[in-house]
Amino acid sequence: MAAEQPSSEDVEDELLAHLDANAEIPDSRSFASSLGVPHRDVEDVIKRLCAFRIVGSTDMTKEALVLTDEAKGYVARGSPEVQFVAAMPPKGAASKAALQEILGDVFDVGLKAAAKKQWIGFDKENEDLVTRRVKDTKDELQEQLKRLENGEVFDDKVMEGLKRRKLITKEKSIWYSLKKGPEFVVKRKTLATDVTRDHLKSGDWKDLEFKDYNYGAQGQPIAIGYSQPLLEVLEAIQNIFVEMGFSEMPTNMFVESSFWNFDALFQPQQHPARDSHDTFFLKAPATTPQLPDDYLEKVKQVHQSGGYGSKGYGYDWKRDEAEKNLLRTHTTAVSTRMLYKVVQNSFAPKRYYSIDRVFRNEAVDRTHLAEFHQIEGLICDYGLTLGDLIGVLEDFFSRLGMSKLRFKPAYNPYTEPSMEIFGYHEGLKKWMEIGNSGMFRPEVLLPMGLPEGVNVIAWGLSLERPTMILNGINNIRKLFGPKVNFKVIKNRPMCRLGCSKVDRSSAGGDMSCLS
């Protein structure tokens, strides 16, 4: 009956008693084998006693050459070459297939090694046959491996041979030399960690020593899901829009017709953005014939010859160009559909927003993918001015933590005036481009049938940029897709919108993403 394995408490008492008697334990490995316990059991006790400063330990490491599992197999069952010959009939030939059956994965190594030792030969006629050339075999290899196991070392040539046959490998072994620690005791009083009912009933709680509370102890990591940073910022920005009285536009249509994506927005058909270098056009379904004819006619007119105070572009507008299907390049395509719908029934002032994917056939780089999430806000109402637009932008971006804005005149085919928006980020002490905006042109609004005097102000930005900045992520590929590092996601601080203070230490520190 195998001797009862000493418990960890027993090993501890043995170790403390030994230290008390000998002041030091120079080699924890030989101490472990003297107790007949695996070294790791002594390691656990050493770690515990060091934590209580009862014991002081110095750890030493040395690289030792140890037998691989394959070699241990040969020590147990003999070297492959010996096993091979042993599986053959005492003399004459044997079929490889039969030997393969018997020897399994030792067959290959055994065949090569036995052949190398000229213990076997091959039959030219029948290549499945091997002939035995020796009566007995001396298992030098097994002998060597056994002696190695007992710590013997051979000359380099032998050792190199064994390494080449992957029979020995380097193993770092660590051991400890132990001394009494400042809190050394022969018997460690186990500190109570809880007052149990038995303690109370037995009353022995009075002379128990309790373990101090470790207020720094980390709680059990709770396995919960983590919101994708993009979705976190998306939700926050949706709340900002709803708080500002905006309602969401339906954006569940990635495939759009050129008509709503470009023509309705008074973007001329030869505009560079309308060629496949910038836009993903669809092969199938390539076109959308269902377009509102009367409205389309008006769009055609305003492109060709203007009207509504505009002289238009004066080019020959083609319906089939407008029918071409594409992946929408901006959610402004949804805005045109919405505005057109607004006038279908009696006009009423509206505040709409959209946040969804848009697709641009652009070169992928650190901040650009071929798709991103566009955020768009628009207000249509009587008598809206550029001042109203600036006011709304200040309100919106202040809720995003950007209180100081600057506006730079810009150009969009569908808005005039248009402005690029720049915001000063307190935390990063930096001005950055945070979006684009403008007042929809009459050439966009009036063909739709929007009443005179109604203006539409709108602005747009991306979701990826603020999310990268607020999470200190400098490469958009780390934001979503296969390169997302979940540890970063898991351990990143909650990004709080509106607090412009980016705490550098927590936000992964590298601010190069802002350039």
- Told to check if 436 binds ligand FB9 by CB under 6 A, we report yes
We find the least distance from the C-beta atom of residue 512 to ligand FB9, in angstroms, to be 15
- Told to check if 460 binds ligand FB9 by CB under 6 A, we report yes
We find the least distance from the C-beta atom of residue 11 to ligand FB9, in angstroms, to be 57
Please state, in angstroms and rounded to a whole number, the distance separating the CA atoms of residues 420 and 117: 82
Q: How many CA atoms lie within 13 A of 354 on its CB side?
A: 26
Residues 313-352 that bind ligand FB9 (CB under 6 A): 332
We find the least distance from the C-beta atom of residue 503 to ligand FB9, in angstroms, to be 14
Closest-by-Cβ residue to ligand FB9 is 460
Pairing of strands 255-257, 325-327: antiparallel
Residues 199-258 that bind ligand FB9 (CB under 6 A): none
Please state, in angstroms and rounded to a whole number, the distance separating the CA atoms of residues 128 and 93: 10
We find the least distance from the C-beta atom of residue 430 to ligand FB9, in angstroms, to be 10
**454: which DSSP letter?**
E
Question: Quick one: 328 or 465, whose CB is closer to ligand FB9?
Answer: 465
- Told to check if 470 binds ligand FB9 by CB under 6 A, we report yes
- Told to check if 466 binds ligand FB9 by CB under 6 A, we report yes
3-state SS, residue 417: strand
CB contact burial 97-128 (16+ within 10 A = b; e otherwise): eebeeebeebbebbbebbbebebbeeeeeeee
Residues 406-425 that bind ligand FB9 (CB under 6 A): 412, 415
Binding mask 54-83 for ligand FB9 (x = CB under 6 A): ------------------------------
For ligand FB9, how many residues bind (rule: CB under 6 A)?
24
3-state helix/strand/coil string of 68-103: CHHHHHHHHHCCHHHHHHHCCCCCCEEEHHHHHHHH
Helix axes 140-149, 69-77, angle to 10 degrees: 120
Exposed/middle/buried for residue 336 (C-beta within 10 Å: 0-12, 13-18, 19+) = buried
What tokens does 225 get?
């899901």
DSSP labels, 341-372? HHHHS----EEEEEEEEEE-----BTTB-SEE
Piece of the chain touching ligand FB9 by CB under 6 A; list 77-85, 139-147, 293-301, 399-407: 399-407
Among 229, 312, 435, 472, interactor with ligand FB9 by CB under 6 A: 435
Residue 420's identity, in one-letter code, is: E
Among 400, 446, 454, 473, interactor with ligand FB9 by CB under 6 A: 400
**263: which DSSP letter?**
G
Question: Quick one: 78 or 460, whose CB is closer to ligand FB9?
Answer: 460
Among 130, 458, 473, 479, interactor with ligand FB9 by CB under 6 A: 458
We find the least distance from the C-beta atom of residue 350 to ligand FB9, in angstroms, to be 15
Peptide bond connecting 182 to the previous residue in cis, omega within 30 degrees of 0: no
Question: Quick one: 131 or 227, whose CB is closer to ligand FB9?
Answer: 227
- Told to check if 432 binds ligand FB9 by CB under 6 A, we report yes
Residues 277-296 that bind ligand FB9 (CB under 6 A): none
Which residues contact ligand FB9 (rule: CB under 6 A)?
Answer: 332, 374, 376, 400-402, 412, 415, 432-438, 458-462, 465-466, 469-470
